[in-house]
Amino acid sequence: MAGERTVRLVERLRRVRGGDPWFDKRGLDTVRRRPVDDETIERRRRRQRYLGVAFVGLLVAAIWYPVLAGVGVVGCATAAVGVGAVRGRFYCNHLCPRGGLLDGYVRLFSRGKRTPDWFNHPLIRVVVAATAFGLLATGIRAAWRQGGSLGVPFLTMLAVSTLVAVGLGVVYHQRAWCQVCPAGTLSHAVHRIAEALGRDPAPRVEVDADACVDCGRCGTVCRQDINPGQYADREVTDHGDVFSWGGTEGATREADGVVDHGDCLQCSACVEECPTDALSFDAE
Ligand code: SF4
Ligand code: SF4
């Protein structure tokens, strides 16, 4: 039995390295619709793998030098929020080291299941963020009083949240944690506020309502469980939008052909997957 599992894992690794979808909730048995030798995608995949290795290296080094965890957490959170104001959750897909670990490696073990609709409800996101920041503040206060290393609470938070992220990544899909990650939530909220203050929105996916045949494939590859096709010209439910509370089911509204969901990672997976070329990036 163990031998069979090893063979299956090696097969998965081989196929992912060979260009199978880097994310697909239907598993790895589907064939990419577009050529796999797209250089941009390959570069991004490679960068994510390096970031994942760097993240694990930092975690291990922080066991001896906890200050590294403090620098890492503060640096990444600041970058996520700073980039968030201008580009939304671009950081989460392209630059986040833990995101690199999840996309680069955890996806190999992931069941690729959609999270329940309530999972990224704004209330849950607020509770997760408040718990993380509350525990961190308590830990820093205790370390300060006892004259201990201020890096230890950061290391503890990083290690615990990474364990949770990996667990969720295996049980659901590899980026499930990113739907409730406090840094991602802050990035999302800051971008919404910047937009309200008049800043241009981040690049967004546009849907051609005439070309969309409502097949739902785009939703199967979205790592934020967004259904881009629904934004053609139909009623949508923005599950997870931090300023769209609307009960456990989320608020519904009429969409106008733009996937203006604050959690979009701008990863292009849906654009690549659409069989009718109904999706495009407005920055392209
Ligand atoms: S994959 Fe394309 S055609 Fe299918 S639902 Fe999404 S946008 Fe529409
Ligand atoms: S680009 Fe498409 S697949 Fe990627 S997060 Fe945004 S909606 Fe989802």
Mean pLDDT for the stretch of residues 188-210: 90
Which pLDDT does position 199 carry in this prediction? 87
Sequence-distant (6+) residues with CB within 8 A of 61 are 68
Residue 167 and residue 147: Cα distance in Å, rounded? 33
Residue 29 lies in a domain: no
Nearest to 188 by CA among 173, 202, 205: 202
**Residues 76 and 97 both lie in one domain:** yes
Could you say which DSSP state residue 29 is in? -
Cα 66 to ligand 2 centroid, rounded to whole Å: 35
Q: Is 205 in contact with 270 (CB distance < 8 Å)?
A: yes
* Tokens read off for 4: 């069979």
Which pLDDT does position 107 carry in this prediction? 85
If one counts the domains in the chain, the total is 2
**Residues 250 and 142 both lie in one domain:** no
Residue 132 lies in a domain: yes
**Residues 53 and 186 both lie in one domain:** yes
Residue predicted with more confidence, 132 or 248: 132
pLDDT in tens, 247-279: 445 567 778 889 988 899 988 888 888 888 899
Cα 223 to ligand 1 centroid, rounded to whole Å: 16
Residue 72, pLDDT above cutoff 50: yes
Please tell me if the CB atom of residue 115 comes closer than 6 angstroms to any atom of ligand 2. no
Please tell me if the CB atom of residue 227 comes closer than 6 angstroms to any atom of ligand 2. no
Q: Over the chain, what is the mean pLDDT? A: 83
Q: Which atom of ligand 1 is least distant from the CA of 214? A: 5
Q: Is 91 in contact with 191 (CB distance < 8 Å)?
A: no
**Residues 125 and 189 both lie in one domain:** yes
Cα 104 to ligand 1 centroid, rounded to whole Å: 26
Amino acid type, 116: P
Residue 161 and residue 13: Cα distance in Å, rounded? 25
**Residues 151 and 248 both lie in one domain:** no
**Residues 198 and 233 both lie in one domain:** no
Q: Which atom of ligand 2 is least distant from the CA of 279? A: 2
pLDDT in tens, 22-35: 445 444 333 344 44
Query: By residue range, what is the domain housing residue 253?
Result: 203-284
**Residues 193 and 284 both lie in one domain:** no
Q: Is 248 in contact with 226 (CB distance < 8 Å)?
A: no
Cα 29 to ligand 2 centroid, rounded to whole Å: 20
Please tell me if the CB atom of residue 259 comes closer than 6 angstroms to any atom of ligand 2. yes
Residue predicted with more confidence, 92 or 45: 92
Atom 3, ligand 2: which residue's CA is nearest?
A: 222
Which pLDDT does position 8 carry in this prediction? 64
**Residues 113 and 216 both lie in one domain:** no
Neighbouring CB atoms inside 10 A of 45's CB total 17
